[in-house]
Amino acid sequence: MSCSGGLTLYINLLSAPARALTLLPRGIRAPYEEKNISFFKGEHKSEAYLKIHPFGTVPAVTDGDLTILESCTALRYIASKYDTSGKWYPADLASRVRVDEFLDWQHTKLRKHGVGYYFNLIFAPMINKCEPDMTLINSHKEELKKVDADMVRHFIKGRNFIAGEHVTIADLIAACELEQPMCANVTYSQPIMDYLDRVKSHIGPDYDQVHQKVRGFTKSMLNK
């Protein structure tokens, strides 16, 4: 697993931040290479991958000598370096604040409860060979209702996207994190569903393509 000279994304389409990440070079038509890191084969904890990402989580990004471990950091970096339109991570400070604010907020809100719901429903029973902990799962589901409401009243409000009229890296993270629990039957308010539709149609066919694997996988796990 050697770093090539150009932009390389180490991803797995079961991971929401990894899906968000791969949508960016596609959206800005930046050349990049994609390497799949299999969770089931334990590749994220392999010696080769730990040389790239010492904490063994997905995604990671390399670009020449530079390695980036965090998805939001990688999104900021790729947009800053490769997006010639300047729209995906706006330089104008007032717009940039809207993007950064969502990215900082989601770690302990949308992502926390989305992962809390999804992981405990889909992965924990498989890993620990036990029944799903429905009390825990339902508490995350309840928190996702507050997340939904907070996104509607603050982060989306009357706008098309988080920072205004163009999809930014904040919307990539938002949409991919919202989609994950939705694969496992979480439902959202109409404003969130409308927002997701706008993101999807702004991005085009890549949107469903990157979500195909997680949708199929989740369905198969729920029907086991």
Ligand X SMILES: N[C@@H](CCC(=O)N[C@@H](CS)C(=O)NCC(=O)O)C(=O)O
**Contact assessment for residue 10 and residue 43, using Cβ atoms and an 8 Å cutoff:** no
**What is the C-alpha separation between 39 and 121, in angstroms, rounded?**
17
Q: Is 116 in the site for ligand X (CB under 6 A)?
A: no
- 8-67 residues near its own copies, rule: CB under 8 A: 54-55, 66
Determine, following the binding rule CB under 8 A, whether residue 108 of this chain makes contact with its own copies.
yes
Residues 61-80 that bind its own copies (CB under 8 A): 66, 68-73, 76-77, 80
Sheet holding 66-68, edge to edge: 33-36, 7-11, 60-63, 66-68
46 binds ligand X per the rule CB under 6 A: no
Which listed option, ligand X, its own copies, none, makes contact with residue 80 (CB within 5 to 8 Å by class)? its own copies
118 lines the binding site for its own copies (CB under 8 A): no
How far apart are the C-alpha atoms of 16 and 114, rounded to whole Å? 10
Distance, in Å, from the CA atom of 190 to the CA atom of 182, rounded to the nearest integer, reads: 13
180 binds ligand X (CB under 6 A): no
Q: Classify residue 164 by its DSSP letter.
A: B
Q: Which of 8, 15, 22, 120 binds ligand X (CB under 6 A)?
A: 15
Binding residues for ligand X, rule: CB under 6 A, are 15-17, 44, 56-59, 70-72
